[in-house]
Structures are given as C-alpha cells and as structure tokens.
Structure 1
Amino acid sequence: MARIGAEERRQDFIEATIKVIAEYGIADATTRRIAAAADSPLASLHYVFHTKDELFSAVYESLINMPQQSLQYAPTGATTAESIGEMLRQLVKWFTLHPDRATTQFELFFWNLRNNPEMATKIYAVSIEAAQQAIRKITGEALDQTALITVSRLLINLFDGLLLAWSTHGDLERLESETDTACQAVQLLVDSY
C-alpha cells in the first residue's frame, strides 16, 4: 500500500469533515465518524489534528480559500461596480455547485458563535479580509480603504444572507433572482463612491 503524504492526509480529513458535518450536523461530527469517512485510522486523525477545534478551524479556512478562484473572474470591459457585483454572483454560484460546503460553513460558524465566540469573530474577520483581497485584485486601487471595507462587509453579508435563504427554500431560480437584486445593490453602493 502506498504511503500518503501529510498534506494529502490533512486534505482528506478536511474533505471528510465537510461531508460528515453536512450529513450529520456538527454535534454528530465525531472524530471517529470523520476518520471513517476519510478511510483512515482514528489515531491518524489525532496525529494530524491534535484537537477538534484545530480540525474545525482548518475546515473553515479551506471553506474560505476554496471559492477564491471563482472570484478572479472579471468580465472584459466591466466597470468596478460591475466587477464587484459579478464577484458576488460567482461566489454564490460556486457554493450552489458545492452545497455540502455551504451547509458546513453555516454549521461551523454557528457552532463557533455558541461555543467559541472569539473564533466566530476571527472567522468573520478572515472572510472580510478575503473579500477585500479579492476586490483589490480585480479592481486595483479603484476604491479607497473606507469604501473597500464597506463594500467587502456588504458583499459578505449579502452572500451569507443569500445562502442562508437558499438553504431554507432550496429554489435555485429564486436564488438567482435574489442574487441579481443583491448584485445591483452592491453595484449601486460601489457607484456611490
């Protein structure tokens, strides 16, 4: 049997955790269940991630990092406002193509909010920072720092609200319509700067 590298094993555990949380919820995401989903001994999981909090942090970080590639797209000839609106659209689209990740992201955030509020605060800050970096990459210096912070916060808040609503109603057509409206709101805000 071929030996699996540490980084590959780490990623296996992250993927398994996403699946387990999406299927069973965070309360029933035991390390034993996660190790089984990764087809790995429990001891290997504890070797790679010393605590469950460490594992959950790695999962959340990957949930922030995974869709970043979808944020690199800016339509040719688009204004700054249109580019940022399109970022929101692409982010929502990415998560609708990966519903387990959307479910897991919500589960982890609310679990942290109840059990580790400092981590929840950190998660939100990291999300805002990731949005700011993505906006800067596409728009350059088109927005000053105050505008960048405001637009990034709105982008994350709209994104979270859209996915939470979609999680409850499950209607992709409705989500697309609501996303269009949210993108227009982002564009209007950006245009006001």
Structure 2
Amino acid sequence: MARIGAEERRQDFIEATIKVIAEHGIANATTRRIAAAADSPLASLHYVFHTKEELFYSVYESLINMPQQSLQAPADALPADSVGDMLRQLVKWFIAHPERAITQFELFFWNLRNDPQMAAKIYIVSLEATQQAIQKATGDALDHAARTTVSRLLINLFDGLLLSWTAHGDPERLEAETETACKAVRLLVESY
C-alpha cells in the first residue's frame, strides 16, 4: 500500500470536510464522518488536525484561496473593468462548486455563534485576500484606502449574491444580479 504524504492527506481531509458539511451541515460534521469520507482512519485525522476548530479554519482558508487563485485579469482591461470582472469570476467559480458556497456560509455562521473572534479573523483573512487580488488586477491604480473600501464592497456583494442564489436557485436571476453588482463595483472604482 502506497504511503500518502502529510500535505496530500491534509487536502483529503479538507475536501472531505467540505463534502460532509455541504451534505450534512456543520452540526453533523463529526470527525468520524469526515475521516470516513476521506477514506482514512480517525487517528490520521487527529494527527493532521489537532482540533476540529483547526480543521474548520483550514477549510475556510482553502475556500478563500481556491477561487482567488483562478482569477484571470485581462492585460488591457481598465481597473474598474478588472474589479467588476473579478466579482463575476468569483460568482461563476462558486456556482460551479456549490458545495463550497454552502460550506463557506455554514462555517462562517458556526464561528460567529461559537467563536466570534475566529469569525472576525476569518473576515480579515477574506479582506486581505481580496485586497491582494485587487492589487494584482489593478496595479497601483488604487491606493490602500481605496482597495480596502472596494474589497469590503466586493465581499458584501459577493456574499449577498451567493446567499440569494442559495435561496432562489435561479441561474438567470443570479446572472442579472451579478451584472448589476459588477456595475456598482465599476462605478466605485471609477470614482477613485
């Protein structure tokens, strides 16, 4: 039997946790169920992640980083168009991975109820990742204060769009709402 490296095993547990939370909710995301979904012994899960909270935080980090890595900014686009397109790409990425959208909401609200400081930390990590993506897409077109403001709006619009979509499930409505949100983002960026 081939031995699995620690980083690969870590990713297996993160993917299994996403699947379990999306299917069963966070209240039923037991370490035993997660280990079974990863096709791994429970002891391995506890070796890689010392606490369930550590596992959940790693899952949340993964949910922030994965879509950010897939963002593509056209080389000749104006900064306002680049940021609007970022929002569009993020929504499309999560729609293609609905279990990740559900898990992200579940984890954030679980942390908000159980560990408000962790929820605040998660928001800060999201904000910083968004600021970095905007910096990459726009270069020096926006100063730090502007990037912070635009990042907050982007996060608020993104979360609202996904929450709305999980409730109504209508892809055409989501596309129309996303385009409206992209216009709002473009207008804000243009104002700087």
Q: Same fold by TM-score, threshold 0.5 exceeded?
A: yes
3-state SS, counterpart of residue 55 of structure 1: helix
Equivalent-residue separation in structure 2 for 1:70 and 1:183 (angstroms): 18
1:21 corresponds in structure 2 to 21
The answer for the alignment partner of 2:6 in structure 1 is 6
Q: Partner of 1:175 in structure 2? A: 174
1:105 to 2:107 alignment: no
Return the letter of the residue paired with 1:15. Answer: E
CA distance in 2, matches of 1:21, 1:125: 23
1:153 is matched with which residue? 152
1:32-71 to structure 2, matched below 5 A, reads 32-71=32-71
TM-score of the pair, normalised by structure 1? 0.98
Distance 2:137 2:75 in 1: 11
Amino acid at match of 2:24: Y
Match of 2:164 in 1: 165
* Residue in 2 that maps onto 1:30: 30
CA displacement 1:130-180 (0-9 Å, x = unmatched):
000001011111001111100000000100000000010011111000000
Q: Deviations over 1:61-86 (max 9, x none)?
A: 00001001222x12342211000000
* SS of the residue 1:3 aligns to: coil
Partner of 1:140: 139
The answer to whether 1:93 aligns with 2:92 is: yes
- RMSD over aligned Cα atoms: 0.7
Match of 2:119 in 1: 120
CA distance in 2, matches of 1:142, 1:151: 12
Equivalent residue of 1:27, what SS? helix
Q: Secondary structure in 1 aligned to 2:35?
A: helix
Structure 1 distance, partners of 2:74, 2:182, is 14
Corresponding residue of 1:75: 74
Structure 1, unpaired ranges of 5+: none
1:15-36 deviations in whole A, cap 9, x for unaligned? 0000000000000000000000
SS in 1 for 2:27: coil
Distance 1:188 1:40 in 2: 49
Distance, in Å, in 2 between the alignment partners of 1:115 and 1:37 is: 25
Give the TM-score, by structure 2 length: 0.98
